[in-house]
Structures are given as structure tokens and as C-alpha cells.
Structure 1
Amino acid sequence: MPQKKRLKYLLLFILLISAMIRCGIAVYVQRQLDRQPGRTYVIEGDADGYWKLAQTILHGEDYTIYTPPRRVLRMPGFPVFLAGAMSVLGEEHFRVRLVLSLTGVVACFVVYLLGKELVNEVTGVIVAALVAVSPVMAGFSVLFLSETLFALAMLFSLWVFAKLSKIEFGEEQRVRGIMLSLLAGISLAIACYVRPSWLLVLPLVVVALIWNAKRNRTEAIKRCLFMILGFAVMLAPWTYRNYRVTGHFVPTTLWLGPSLYDGLNAQATGDSDMTFFDQENVLDTMSEYEMNQHYTQRAIDYARQHPGHVFQLMGAKLLRYWKPWPNASQFQSWWMMAAVSIIFIPVVCFAIYGAWVSRDQYLLLLITLGPIVYFSMLHLIFVSSLRYRLPAEYSLYILSAVGIYHFFFSQTERSQSG
């Protein structure tokens, strides 16, 4: 049987294993929750908010939550996805949880496509296998949280960017370059609809494309303009809606200020603790926009007045971000910590080796290391945990697959040829 055909069958088998693992976890999680009366979600708060926002979309109600109403609290991407699942399967947690588990399977396939595009098909199959058996990725894929859907959208945007970067400049490729540029902008905006923190990637991608063009910078700038156009058009409906309900230009959400203050205040530890928001009740006297400005300014003022504590917090956040095991107390059982660490530590070691053997492949390093470094830097300011690292691990695993291939398979090939 030809190697390509064997790899296709192997990929199909990996995706089947991925689906079995995730559906099995979905069944286990739902049974555990059903045994605890009054408990609906593994991680309360965010999950309940997403579910309620999805219900407002499903029933054609105003996209608001809580009292006083929060109209621009969350990006609508994940709630829209949940609402779509509810419209087909009903408002039943277990059924929607199964749909979420299949989202994780699709993420396995897209990371395969990205690995294949950046390196080769063998690397794509290896990275798909790593993602399929990752306990954290499998576990999070069945939760009512946006991490897995964001990872999927992020991977797709990176795949489009990788394809765009390989298109040569010239008349023959001009139309294809324009179409992929528009798609790149649209895919970046789709990821922003799930997680607003991806917004800053657009200017970084523009800089990378122009810098990589060298002798064809004029053509590269044209492609970037089409990318910005696709991004702006895709994000325009949400921005316009926000202007109508707030009277201000808000391209993402009005939760930046409280999130920033959560990570920069006198009681901050690097972990999230939003009790100050409920205790202060500033929304009783301020609009949602004013509240966001209020907390943003307080966070900035605190950082200016207490630089020592800020640097101390940065160290704590960096440790929380890169810690091999979960930070949350409900996941501190020895078997959970061991299961996560046993996978993550070798993955990082192979990623380091993969980065070394690929040190002259700038596009590969940019796409695989870029997201995890980007979020690591971002969460030196905001609160930090494994949860914020998780989506970026998908692309990092491609470097791990490169390391595994060179450590095991390439040595075998060399010994056979010798």
C-alpha cells in the first residue's frame, strides 16, 4: 500500500480515537454533574454566562445578561455556536456537550492540515495524534467554555496565513493572493468573534507579511490592505451593533477594564478574583462603557504607582501560565496533575528540539511559537493560567511533532540508508 494511502487511513483512525475519547469524557462529565444536585457546570461563571447568552440568541431576545444588563460583555462567537447546536438538538446540556466534543475532533483535523502545510503529511499525522490523546485538550473540548472553538478558529486563521505566505508575487498568482488575503482577514475576525484577545494579531501579521516580502513590498502592502478589508467587513456588524447600544466605537467588548484591573490591583495574585466587581457595583451609577473606562484607568494608575508589585505579579503569572499541571483547586488531584504533566513536559521538550532542528525555517517558527509566546506576554498583564495557554498549545504541538519525527523516524531512516 502506498505511503500516502497508509497515512490517510492512519489519520482516519486517529480522528476516530479522538472522537471516542472526547465523547467518552462527555458522558463521564455529565454523569458526574448529574450526581451533584444543583451543579450544572464543571467551571461555573463563564460557562453559565455563555449558556444564557446562547439562549438569548436562540429565543430572539436582546443579547444581554445580568442585572443591570450587560450588553457588550462577551463576543458572540461561542454563544452563536451554542445557540446553533441548541436549535438542532434542544436546550439539553449533554447533547450540546457532545457537539462540543466533536469540535475538538475537527480541531485535530485542522491542526493536521496546518502541520502538513508547514512541514509534511507525516508531521501532520503525528501532531493530530498528539492532540487526539492530550487529556487537557480532550477534557476542555466537552466544557461550555470557548477554548476549543477558539483554538479551531485560530488554527484555521494560521493555516490561511501559512498558505498566503507561500504564494509568490506576480501576475499569475495575483487573484489567488487577493482571495487568500481576504480569507485571512475574515478568518482572523472569526477568531476574534470567539476571543477578542486575537485582535492584536492582525497588525503583527501585516508586519510579518511586509517584512517577509523584501523586494515585493508594494505587492505585500496591497495584500495586507485586502486582509484588513476582509477583517473590517467581517467585524463591522458587531462593531455597528455595539455603537447602537453604547453610543461608542467598541470593536470587541467592554470587559477589558475589569479584566485588566483583575490582574493589576493591590490584592492581585495572578489568579482571577472578580469579587471586587460585585462588591463595588459601579454599574449602579455608571454605564457599561464608563465602567470599562473606570477600571482600565484604575489598573493603569495602580501599575504606575506600584511597579515593584507589577513585576512580582508578572513572575507569578508567567509561572501560572507555564506550569505543567492545572492551577485551579478543583483539578489538584494527583492523578489529574500527573496525567497533564506526563503529556505536557515531553511535548515541550520535543518542541524545543523541533525548534532547534527547524531554526532556519522562520515561517514554521512564527506560526508554531508565535501564538504561545503572544499569549504568554499578554497574560503577564492580565490574569494567567493553563486555560489561557491551551489554545496556543495546538500549534506548539506541531513543533513537538517535528521533534518527534527527527528524533525517532529520521534516525531510523538514516540507519536504514546506511
Structure 2
Amino acid sequence: MNAPASKTNRSGTKQLLLIFLIAFLVRVGFTASTVRKHEHERPNQIDTLQYDDEQWYWAIGQSYRAGDGMVGEYGHRAERMPLYPWLLSWFSPGESGVSAARWFQCFFGALAACAVTALAWRLSTIGLIAGLIVAFDPTLVGSASLLLSETVAVTLLAGLWYAAWPLRDAQSRSPLRWLSTIVLSILVIYAKESTIILVAALYAYLVFARRDRHGVFAAVASVGCIVLALVPWAYRNKQVSGDWIWLTSRGGISLYDGVHPGATGASDLGNIKAAPDVANLSESEWNRHFKDKAWKHIFDDPMRIVSLSWTKLARTWSPVLNAADLQSWKIRAIFAGWYIPLYALVIIGIYAKRSRISVLAGLLLPTICISATHVFFVGSVRYRLVAIPTLAILAAMGLQAVMSSRESQEIPDAIEEDATKDSK
């Protein structure tokens, strides 16, 4: 009796392994080619850490490794969540350590394709299609080559959605599943602070999807556990900065970056950080200063914020990259050739599954949260990465709908052709 199930499980495992290998090799290949290119262009720069955020993540990770306490820019000690710097601290200083960190990211990023495949199998037979979309997605592939927290956050969020999805059903009361969801929620927040919005939205979604007392109790208890897990970090930040900082000290300046009077929708942190009125502020004062100014600008001119939000959303969901150094016709063609069809398939998938409101809500939740967040914060394709896994599932549903429509059209055509031949 168990033989068919065992055979199916073995087949599923082989398919997951295949998806992982494809995703991993694509990321390794791109990373290797990118590193070689930048080594040629910048021979004196440590393993081509080309962006400021990369350099600061690496510096904070090495500070963690040295026992200095995550010292970042301007001596700040709470400007990044600790999980990603902790991961980087395992790699030795110098080029060999940076290279090893990149290969680790290729490995960890490839796991997102497996999580998406497994989640899609819970919904339909589209797992392989969804997994391949994540495996080849150019933004996900490109981000794996950069020492930024997005790759880790994407994989953890994909795992979180996979773990939490069965909890939509009121019949699902497994304490182990709730526990795994709590652990993944804590890890993803410790990796990237902005994901706390997605985590909160996920638990609210589970409550509304289940509509039972157990779901409310379990969700509230889960959120309580997550808050408790943040207490040691907040207390540590109080010791080093003087304030209970529950996430990071970058919240204020990040918000200000998106709403100040000269805001364009793109980031301008370099000029903002160089302002003379913040030169002598402590870390906690720095955070409060920018936060207070940001909210003042929001309340003083809310219509400007609304108007600017369209530019930010256009930047976030742009089918081509926004960076000035990535505007070659080849790069634009690759990204437009990928994302325009992908977005079209997502729309088709939404229409095809329009009767399954709960499923659509769960899959669109990251997209909605990211879009709502970047009404205020700056827009960039980097920030949509955490929504790509669930959009890949919707795109796979769209492709399935297109293929099914073509097959259903071909059957009557074949019957009509046979009938014509018979009449002759």
C-alpha cells in the first residue's frame, strides 16, 4: 500500500534536487562571471564589493567576528539586524572570505526555488514551473552575487510561507507547524527589519483565513513569542545606544530619504548623511532626528507624498533596472524580456484563480505589503525581491491557464478537422 506513496515521495525529492541544482548553478555561473568582470575593471578593490551597503555589511560582519560589537558607519552599533552580519562573520577577512560568502549566498538563494516548488505543489501541479521561475529570475540571480541581506531574507520568507500555508485550514492545529512558523518569522526579522510588516500581515491573514478561536489564540501567542525574541536585541541596543531600539537605528533616515522635500523616489542617503546638523548626534539622537523630520514632512504636505508614491512604485516594480550603470541595451532587453511576460502571466493567474480569494490573498500579500511600504520609503527593484517567490506561483498558474486554454481549443479544432475529412 505504501509503495506508490514512497515512489511519489522519491520523485518529488528528485525534482526538488533538480530545481536546487539548476538554481544553484545559474547563480554560481552569474556570480563567477560578474566577479571576473569587476576584478578586471577594479583590480584594487576587495573582491569587487561594488556597493556601499555591501561594504558596510562586510565591515559589520568582520567587526562581529573581531568581537567589536557590530560597529558600522559613524561608529553606530544598531544600524543593521544581526543575523546577516553574524553569517558574514563566519567568513575570514580578505578576498577568500568574500568569495566564500558569495558561494554561500548562491547555495542559500537556490533553496528559495525549492521552497517555492514545494509551496506550489500544495496548490496545484505547477511546482516545477514556479521553481524554475525563481531559479532563473534575473533579479534574484543577480542579488545572490551581492553581499546584501535580501538573498537570505527571500529564502527565509519563502520557507515561512511554505510552513505557514497549511495553517490557513482550521483543521490544522499542529503545534510543531506553528512552532516552525514562529522560528522562521524570528529568523527573517533578524535578517531584515522591513520583513516585520510581512510577518505581521501573515498572522493577520491566517486569522481571517481560518476564522476560528484556535487560530486567533495561536496567532496572538506566535506574535507574543516573536516580540519576546526581539527583547534581547532591543536590550542590547539600549546598552550600546541608550535607547530601546527594537529593530535598527536606520528607520528614521530611511523614512526621511523617501519623504524629504527634495525626494525623487530614489535614494539620496549620501547627501542626507553629510548634513552638518547631524554631525555630532549620537546614534539614538540621529534616529529620532530623522524620524521626527520625516513625519513632519509627511503631515505638512501629504498630497506631495501621495503624488511621489507613484514614482516610487514605478521604480519598485519597473521591468528594467533603475541604476544608471545598468542601462545597456542588453541588460534592459534581458530584464524587460523577463518581467513583462512574467507580470502578464501573474495577471492571467489572478484572473484564472479569481474564485479562490483566500489563495490569491495569501499569494499577493507580500506584493501588497511591499507596495504599501514604498508609498513612504524609496523605490527600488531591490525591495520587491521578497515578493518574487509568491508572484512566481501566480505566474505559473497563469501559464497553466494559458496552456489549458490552448489545449481545450485544439480539441474542438481536431474534432472539426476529422469531421470534415469524414464528410469527404
The equivalent residue for 1:14 is: 19
Question: How far apart are the structure 2 equivalents of 1:59 and 1:409?
Answer: 58
The equivalent residue for 2:147 is: 144
1:80 pairs, out of 76, 81, 86, with 86
Q: Give 1:394 deviation, angstroms.
A: 1.6
2:337 pairs, out of 322, 333, 342, with 342
**Local SS of the residue matching 1:92:** helix
Equivalent AA in structure 2 for residue 97 of structure 1: R
- Is the 8 Å Cα contact of residues 89 and 96 (structure 1) preserved in structure 2? no
Show the 5 A alignment for 1:112-261.
112-117=117-122, 119-120=123-124, 122-168=125-171, 173=173, 176=174, 178-214=175-211, 216=212, 218-261=213-256
- Is the 8 Å Cα contact of residues 22 and 141 (structure 1) preserved in structure 2? yes
Q: Give 1:378 deviation, angstroms.
A: 0.5
What is the CA deviation profile of residues 288-340 of structure 1, one whole-angstrom value per residue up to 9, with x for unaligned ones? 11111111111111222233432231121121112100000111111111101
Q: Give 1:89 deviation, angstroms.
A: 11
The equivalent residue for 2:58 is: 51
Equivalent AA in structure 1 for residue 147 of structure 2: F
Aligned length: 406
The equivalent residue for 1:65 is: 72
- Cα gap change, 1:288/1:400 in structure 2, threshold over 3 Å: closer, same or farther? same
- Cα gap change, 1:185/1:10 in structure 2, threshold over 3 Å: closer, same or farther? closer
Show the 5 A alignment for 1:95-110.
95-110=100-115
Unaligned 5+ segments in structure 2 are 416-424
- Cα gap change, 1:202/1:93 in structure 2, threshold over 3 Å: closer, same or farther? closer
Q: After superposing the two structures, state which structure 1 stretch, 181-190 or 373-382, moved more.
A: 181-190
1:352 pairs, out of 343, 347, 351, with 347
Q: Give 1:11 deviation, angstroms.
A: 4.1
Give me the TM-score of the superposition, normalised by structure 1. 0.89
What is the CA deviation profile of residues 233-258 of structure 1, one whole-angstrom value per residue up to 9, with x for unaligned ones? 33232122112222322210011111
Question: How far apart are the structure 1 equivalents of 2:378 and 2:368?
Answer: 15
- Is the 8 Å Cα contact of residues 185 and 229 (structure 1) preserved in structure 2? no
2:310 pairs, out of 300, 315, 336, with 315
Unaligned 5+ segments in structure 1 are none
- Is the 8 Å Cα contact of residues 153 and 187 (structure 1) preserved in structure 2? yes
- Is the 8 Å Cα contact of residues 198 and 365 (structure 2) preserved in structure 1? no
Q: Does 1:262 align with 2:257?
A: yes
- Is the 8 Å Cα contact of residues 202 and 365 (structure 2) preserved in structure 1? no
Q: Give 1:416 deviation, angstroms.
A: 7.0
What is the CA deviation profile of residues 61-105 of structure 1, one whole-angstrom value per residue up to 9, with x for unaligned ones? 2211233x1011111121112223x16998532222111111221
Q: After superposing the two structures, state which structure 1 stretch, 360-369 or 339-348, moved more.
A: 360-369
**Local SS of the residue matching 2:145:** coil
Q: Give 1:154 deviation, angstroms.
A: 1.0
Q: Give 1:155 deviation, angstroms.
A: 1.0
Question: How far apart are the structure 2 equivalents of 1:91 and 1:59?
Answer: 17
Q: Give 1:219 deviation, angstroms.
A: 1.7
- Is the 8 Å Cα contact of residues 305 and 375 (structure 2) preserved in structure 1? no
Q: Does 1:303 align with 2:298?
A: yes
Q: Give 1:3 deviation, angstroms.
A: 7.5
**Local SS of the residue matching 1:268:** coil
The equivalent residue for 2:422 is: none
- Is the 8 Å Cα contact of residues 185 and 227 (structure 1) preserved in structure 2? yes
1:400 pairs, out of 395, 412, 421, with 395
- Cα gap change, 1:88/1:281 in structure 2, threshold over 3 Å: closer, same or farther? closer
Q: After superposing the two structures, state which structure 1 stretch, 126-135 or 205-214, moved more.
A: 205-214
The equivalent residue for 1:39 is: 45
Question: How far apart are the structure 1 equivalents of 2:96 and 2:57?
Answer: 13
Question: How far apart are the structure 2 equivalents of 1:202 and 1:20?
Answer: 30
Equivalent AA in structure 1 for residue 196 of structure 2: L
Question: How far apart are the structure 2 equivalents of 1:325 and 1:369?
Answer: 21
Q: Give 1:5 deviation, angstroms.
A: 5.9
The equivalent residue for 2:421 is: none
The equivalent residue for 2:286 is: 291
Question: How far apart are the structure 1 equivalents of 2:228 and 2:180?
Answer: 11
- Is the 8 Å Cα contact of residues 26 and 94 (structure 1) preserved in structure 2? no
1:276 pairs, out of 271, 294, 308, with 271
Q: Give 1:17 deviation, angstroms.
A: 2.2
Question: How far apart are the structure 2 equivalents of 1:89 and 1:38?
Answer: 12
Overall identity of the aligned pairs, in %: 26
**Local SS of the residue matching 2:102:** helix
What is the CA deviation profile of residues 26-84 of structure 1, one whole-angstrom value per residue up to 9, with x for unaligned ones? 211111121123334464110001001111122222211233x1011111121112223
- Cα gap change, 1:291/1:399 in structure 2, threshold over 3 Å: closer, same or farther? same
Equivalent AA in structure 1 for residue 22 of structure 2: I
Greater Rg by CA: 2
Question: How far apart are the structure 2 equivalents of 1:384 and 1:352?
Answer: 22
What is the CA deviation profile of residues 196-238 of structure 1, one whole-angstrom value per residue up to 9, with x for unaligned ones? 1111234423332332333x2x222211132123312332321
- Is the 8 Å Cα contact of residues 161 and 184 (structure 1) preserved in structure 2? yes
What is the CA deviation profile of residues 366-388 of structure 1, one whole-angstrom value per residue up to 9, with x for unaligned ones? 23211012101111100001111
- Cα gap change, 1:409/1:59 in structure 2, threshold over 3 Å: closer, same or farther? farther
